[in-house]
Structure 1
């Protein structure tokens, strides 16, 4: 009887253990008909819809501003500088008096030259009268032919002395005029390079100031010869259309990134290539009526060289650059994501110019590139309405 009870107890323990294991295994198995965790929804990405249009093919190049005309004001008369007659940094007119040099020696030289001229004219009057009196007397042999000839020679010499005297007076007047230093051109004058009391013009033409015409400026810049040839070939092949009347216009971007209000005009393209840099020199003329821009200022020049049809502007972050070239991610109607190689033109205003590789109506991923990749799935929403990547990661 004791043995039978023990067997029954062991059997009950086995049954209880088996039930426990079944319950444990049942807890680890799928329930409610679910087979594993459900697949997450496709990530949301911001896209822009491709809308091809005509775009200017422009190039931005570094350049420097240069004064339209530059003239050095120099002392052409030697002497002590008495006065400065202008305000440094002001605008001056052509012919305006800028400096006064001590003119006393030049006035004295002019008076002396005038006196010598008067003496020469008096001698001419006497010599000419004698020659006129001897001429008929020589015909009647009242005087010798030699005396008449000497009188004519003296009259000729007196005429030469008068001419020399007039030249000396003119020279003295010019030198006296140099004592008043005037502006050779109209423009803005800089600081004075000498002060009152300085001895100038002694042995050389002493620089006194610099006048620059800045109501118009030149913009000097260079462009790669290879780029110029590529654009010319594309225009010749009909791949690009000419920019029409705007082909010769340029825009100037200042150091702060703003666009100067007045457009410039392309003047010429240098016919030779700099062998050391491979660059072609270009020059544009830029109006500066208010004098806001100054010579020597660093700028960037935007040169509109051609127009292209079917171009697409995209934000820079939409374009991936790799060893094989540039590409973008395109979301199809079924949500599949594909990489699409594209051909880029020069960037402008922080945007990428796509010249080929995209079709109208396609959706290009701009935001959420870190959440998807080629071959995956994505749910496109218009760019700007997609949830920020940081908020998505917190959810």
Structure 2
């Protein structure tokens, strides 16, 4: 027991001496450097976003004007065609027979007119008989012309430049002018039209933001719009709002707009969808990096550097986000200094060493979450 006590005391002395050495080796705790930024006001571009349906400048349904079997299909789905290009050939053999009979009737009526003319001139018969024969000739010519036109309708060509849609019928199918489904659709996609709607609140904001006594003047004052594709990428051609419906739909409470985008490479297709982004310039906005903001109990907060380089948390309100910045609507004033990184390592009244970070001179780009119901990114 005695030996055990001596060993225990010796071990405790060794541990105590090691602890003292570690204390001597640890550097004294003090303020740590943190990047900070002085709050300034600057112009920001705020984007309002609207879901849009895309359509070609012209979507022309190709329909049969006469009854007949499809003899030949000269195009395929997705093929680019020119105006006047042959698309379908319908079987017209029966109509050719009808045309021959009608043409024979025309010749017979003409012979009758020619026979009666000299008799009328010599007053052998009355002029009424000749006029009756002439009427029958005109009727025969009209019947022949109608049949000949129907034969022409058996050859179907494209009325516009565009892209062929689906082909629901195959060669040999019987089609008619009463068919519910068209033979195909030719979509002219050189210009793509994006149709989107604004609710009454958004429409009021639009009318107040862009000045003009008429709708045309307001649309002219509106800036070019962008288009987000279904994969999240931004289309490389900017568009312009071309039309605005003059009335609000009483059932939906919305007004339809149409923006137009050039489509030189055929990237956009009729029937697809996208998001139209309308830029709005917000003057003298307070912007802070998203990294500077943290959340606590559903509130957005930021650390502000005060006297003695001690930080204090403040609740802020934002109206939107960009890839890098929040637009702050309340809680911060111009000239205040905020910590822009490392907020999770801080607490109130902690002393730091402020290090001014470089700020971008280019205005931030943000999304108008208040008007488009887009939730700001959480940090």
TM-score normalised by the chain length of structure 1: 0.71
SS of aligned partner of 2:83? coil
How many angstroms apart in 1 are the aligned matches of 2:299 and 2:247? 32
Query: Do residues 126 (structure 1) and 101 (structure 2) align?
Result: no
- Aligned residue number for residue 79 of structure 2: 90
The equivalent of 1:185 in structure 2 is: 160
Question: 1:251: Cα distance to partner?
Answer: 0.3
- Gap regions ≥5 residues in structure 1: 1-26, 28-37, 135-142, 237-241, 385-395
Alignment of 1:347-358 (within 5 A): 347-349=321-323, 351-354=325-328, 358=332
Q: Aligned partners of 1:46 and 1:243: how far apart in 2?
A: 44
SS of the residue corresponding to residue 75 of structure 1 reads coil
From 162, 170, 195, give the equivalent of 2:145. 170
What is the CA-CA distance between 1:167 and the residue it aligns to?
Answer: 1.4
Contact 1:59/1:346 (8 A) holds in 2? no
Q: Give deviations 1:144-184, integer Å, cap 9, x for gaps.
A: xxx5xxx2111212222222122122211211111112223
Distance in 1 between the 2:175 and 2:37 partners? 71
For normalisation by structure 2, the TM-score amounts to 0.74
- Structure 1 259/267 Cα, relative in aligned 2: closer, same or farther at 3 Å? same
Counterparts of 2:314 and 2:242 in 1: how far apart (Å)? 41
**Contact residue 66 and residue 219 of structure 1 kept, 8 A:** yes
Structure 1 stretch displaced more, 49-58 or 279-288: 49-58
| Equivalent-residue separation in structure 2 for 1:187 and 1:383 (angstroms) | 54
Q: Give the alignment partner of residue 309 of structure 1, picking from 277, 283, 307.
A: 283
Say which of 281, 288, 303 aligns to 1:329: 303
2:189 to 193, 214, 234: 214
Counterpart of 1:294 in structure 2 is 269
RMSD: 3.6
Give the direction of change, closer, same or farther, for the CA distance of 1:162–1:193 in structure 2 (3 Å limit). Answer: same
Write the mapping of 1:223-238 to structure 2, written as runs, cut at 5 A. 223-230=198-205, 232-233=207-208
Contact 2:189 2:270 in 1 (8 A): yes
1:322 CA displacement: 7.4
SS in 2 for 1:291: coil
Match of 2:55 in 1: 66
Q: How many equivalent residue pairs?
A: 331
Q: What is the alpha-carbon distance in structure 1 between the residues aligned to residue 351 and residue 218 of structure 2?
A: 42
